[in-house]
Amino acid sequence: MGSVALVVVAYLIGSIPVGILLSKLKGKDPRQVGSGNIGATNVMRTAGKALGVITLLGDMLKGFLPVMFALHTGFPEYMVVMAGIAAFIGHLFPLFLGFKGGKGVATALGVYLALNPLAVLGCIVVFVAVLLKWRYVSAGSLAGTLFMPVILYLLKAPEMYIYVSLVIGGMIVLKHLGNIKRLIAGTEHKLDSSRAKNR
């Protein structure tokens, strides 16, 4: 497989709307419920916890598989990174959904899992700590995203990995601008949606 083909295939894999496909098993569409996002959290609200978890894993695989393929088939480091970015962009702007996709956190996590599993562990610790303290999935996701470059730097990861984490992190923050505004206003939904509705 050539470099162009790798990027195209990675993008197409990233474009697969896992959350929508799974939600349809229950006759639901996450775009019509809750936040309207196609990611795991909204699928959980739309179609139940089990399908939400499977969506999380599926979206992670979209980022993980292309990067692992590139790592183990002799592609240079910059193409490994490009495969990850292509899969991530595929999730954000999927061909199969008119380029209107999700926020990319799970797919980015899959990319990082292939590049540096220890860094992912550090980000998960940050995510869980914020989630347990404030009960906002968006806040935990943003915290983990913003800490990733720092964690990669502390782990002495290749500079290219740090740069790509800055690019991906910036795009994730842009995709979460609505969440950030709601967090500031105090109107963001907490993980326990039933409690959020009673507040």
pTM as predicted = 0.92
Q: What is the pLDDT of residue 195?
A: 40
Please check whether residue 141 is in contact with residue 127, taking contact to mean a CB–CB distance below 8 angstroms.
yes
Distances (CA, A) of 139 to 77, 126, 128, 172, 186: 31, 10, 10, 12, 12
Residues 6 or more apart whose CB falls under 8 angstroms from that of 125 comprise none
Q: What is the mean pLDDT of residues 79-86?
A: 98
Asked if 50 contacts 57 with a C-beta cutoff of 8 angstroms, the reply is: no
10 Å CB burial of residue 126 (0-12, 13-18, 19+) is buried
Q: Would the pLDDT of 71 be above 70?
A: yes
Q: pLDDT value at position 194? A: 41
Per-residue pLDDT reduced to its tens digit, 12-62: 999 999 999 999 999 999 999 878 899 998 999 889 999 999 999 999 999
One-letter amino acid at 154 equals L
Report DSSP state, residue 192.
Answer: S
Average pLDDT over residues 125-136: 96
